[in-house]
Amino acid sequence: MYIIIIGCGETGSALAKHLAGEDHEIVVVEEDEERAKALAGSMDALVIHGDGSNTEILKDAGIEKADAVVILTRDDNTNLTICQIVKKFNVKRIVSRVNDPTKQDLYISLEITAAISPIAAIVSYFKNAITQGRGRSIISIEKGKAEILEIRLTNEALDGRKIKDAGLPSEAVIGLISRGGEIVIASPEAILRKGDLLIVVSKTEASKDVITLLKG
């Protein structure tokens, strides 16, 4: 893939090196001149010194043939502007960093591929570490109002029961069942088995009750 990374701090640098190691063609756009020089000597990628919100700079970076663009500046207004510009070039995949989680809706309204908040990701990581062995939060939805959970069913009382009879809170639904390497799309009539790995969509307020029920 031909991938452009705009704004190459520590996260961008690590991502660029990782992707280059997988034989993707990487172009980095970095506004800070000294940073751009340092990056050029430390990675197998074309590094362009310039403003990523400048259309001519983007054209120099090969925006017209890019398969994906990753936007990682530390300013949300800049990121949003770049997203709008990049969309005009019909890039298939546009991924942007969200610095202020309260602005995530602005990114979502642009209908880009993904808007990722490092803060939300870190919160989820620490939450998983704290609750390890109970349930794992895969992703937070709508500013933390809901989440997708990965839970191993260990409650023997639910073994052999249909999902509709499991007693899940009304604010939660089982979406997928992973069993013996097979993936099953869950339905109310699906039978639960001890040891199933369940993917559950739940309102955050109900997550604790869901985990308690399924883990036993």
pLDDT tens for each residue of the chain, 216 residues long = 999 999 999 999 999 999 999 999 999 999 999 999 999 989 989 999 999 999 999 999 999 999 999 999 999 999 999 999 999 999 999 999 999 988 888 998 999 999 888 887 777 767 766 665 566 666 777 767 888 888 999 999 999 999 999 999 999 999 999 998 899 999 999 999 999 999 999 998 998 899 999 998
Q: Which domain holds residue 16?
A: 2-116
Closest by Cα among 132, 136, 145, 139 to 204: 145
Last residue of a domain, one of 88, 116, 144: 116
Q: pTM above the 0.85 mark? A: no
Q: What is the CATH number of the domain that holds 184?
A: 3.30.70.1450
Last residue of a domain, one of 83, 116, 149: 116
Count of domains in the chain?
2
Cβ–Cβ < 8 Å for 8, 45:
no
Q: What is the CATH number of the domain that holds 36?
A: 3.40.50.720
Are 104 and 140 part of one and the same domain? no
Are 86 and 173 part of one and the same domain? no
Backbone φ and ψ of 34, nearest 5°: -65, -40
User: How far is residue 71's CA from residue 79's CA, in Å, rounded to a whole number?
Assistant: 6
